[in-house]
Structure 1
Amino acid sequence: MSSNALLVQFGKRLTKLRESKGMNISEFAAHTGMSRGHLSELEHGKREPGLLTLQTIAAGLETSISKLLSGL
C-alpha cells in the first residue's frame, strides 16, 4: 500500500471514529486542543500524524494508539 493510500485510509478511520463519538470536527478540535484545520487535513489524508498527534487523537477518542491504527 502506498503512503498516500495509508494516509487516506487513516483519515477515513479517524472520521468514522470521531463521528461514532457524536462529535463534529469543531467539537473534536476543542476536545483535543488541536486545530480544526490540522484535523481536517488528517481526515482527508493530506497530513501525516506524528506520535504525539496520534496520542492526542487516541486520548480524545478514548482509545489506544494501537486500536486507532489496527488493521491499517
Structure 2
Amino acid sequence: MTADEVLDRFRRNLKTIREIKGLSQSEVARRLGVPPSYICDMERGRRSPNLRTVAAIAEVLQTPAEIFIGPRKLAKQVKPGLHS
C-alpha cells in the first residue's frame, strides 16, 4: 500500500468513524484543541496527520488507532457513541 493509499483510507475512515460516533467536525476539533478546519482538511485529504495526531484522534473517538488505516469495513463496525 502506498502512502497516498494509507492517507486516503485514513481520511475516509476518520469521517466514517466520526459520523458513527455522532460527532461534528467542530466537536472533534474542540476536543483535540485544533480549529475545525483542521478536521475538515484531514477528511478532504488536504492535510496529513502525524502519528501523535492519529493517536489523539483515536483517543477522542475511543477507537483503536489501527482502524483508521484498516479496510473501510472495519471502520463501519465501530460502535456508536462515546463512553463517559
TM-score by length of 2: 0.71
Question: C-alpha root-mean-square deviation of aligned residues, in Å?
Answer: 1.8
- Percent identical pairs in the alignment equals 31
Q: Which residue of 2 aligns with 1:53?
A: 53
Judge conservation of contact 1:7–1:47 (CA < 8 Å) in 2.
Answer: no
Contact 2:41/2:47 (<8 A) preserved: yes
Larger Rg: 2
How many pairs are equivalent?
Answer: 72
The farther-off stretch of 50-59 and 62-71 is 62-71
Structure 1 residues 8 and 15: CA distance shift in structure 2, 3 A:
same
Contact 1:4 1:45 survives alignment (8 Å): no
Unpaired stretches in structure 1, ≥5 consecutive residues: none
Q: Deviations over 1:18-54 (max 9, x none)?
A: 0101011111111222221111110001111101110
